[in-house]
Amino acid sequence: MYPSRIVPAMRRTAFLLAITLVSAVPLCAQTTEFGVLFGGSKRVISGHTTPAVGTSIQNPSFSFSNSAVDLYYGVQIDPGTVFKLQAGRIDGPVAFKETAADGTSLRRDVDGQVQHIEGMIEYRFSEPYGSTGLFAGVGLYRHSARGFGSMTDYGFPIGVTADFPMTRRYGFIAAATYHFTNADFRPRYLTVSGGLRLAF
């Protein structure tokens, strides 16, 4: 009944801390980089017996038509260790919970979008052709679809990367990411993508 005065203050504080971190870390970092990736995705929902209604999307196979786009900014905080701030979008099936007239929970699969932003730590290993990496982090995921509203919850991305340098500044990058989300029915999304990296 009464508006919270603590939550807005906490949001402002968290926002200021994030800006301070992003602006301060490059001062001690050896290198920074920016990257953009494009690819496809696959959704996985398993272990749920909730009946599905509506479209028969279920768990489609991997497809580039279910596009995935990611942008990231990374700073080297230690030799072989990079902190990344990443934002992206996954187009594909989204599950919403509905309640039938008899009280039964139903899952409605619709074509929608998952927008996400995360912070990740990546460990890189030198290879003859460039480098490979393993990363993990925590993020915020927003599931939405036209006519169905949206829902937002946390999640965890983990994955592998490969970097193929073309010059000292430019390189081709590839990544495979598994997104564990905490939305209704806990869907997971596998994305495979490639793109360009610019180092400073």
pLDDT tens-digit readout, 50-107 = 556 655 455 567 888 899 999 999 999 999 999 999 999 999 989 888 887 887 788 8
Percent residues over pLDDT 90 in the chain: 58
The pLDDT assigned to 99 comes to 82
The answer to whether 72 and 86 are in contact (CB under 8 A) is yes
For domain 31-199, the CATH architecture is Beta Barrel (2.40)
The pLDDT assigned to 110 comes to 87
CB contact burial 3-39 (16+ within 10 A = b; e otherwise): eeeeeeeeeeeeeeeeeeeeeeeeeebeeebebebeb
Q: Where are any strands of DSSP class E within 26-104?
A: 32-44, 52-54, 63-78, 81-99
C-alpha–C-alpha distance, residues 173 and 142, integer Å: 26
pTM: 0.80
The pLDDT assigned to 103 comes to 77
The pLDDT assigned to 38 comes to 98
The pLDDT assigned to 33 comes to 96
The pLDDT assigned to 98 comes to 84
| CB-based burial label for 164 (10 Å; 0-12, 13-18, 19+) | middle
- Tokens standing for residue 173: 């990058």
Helix, strand, coil % (nearest 5) of the chain? 10, 65, 25
Each domain of the chain, given as residue ranges in start order, spans: 31-199
**CA dist list (Å): 83 to 21, 78, 133, 197:** 11, 9, 12, 15
The pLDDT assigned to 45 comes to 81
The pLDDT assigned to 2 comes to 47
The answer to whether 51 and 107 are in contact (CB under 8 A) is yes
Residue 174 backbone phi and psi in degrees, to 5: -135, 150
The list of the chain residues with pLDDT below 70 reads: 1-30, 46-60
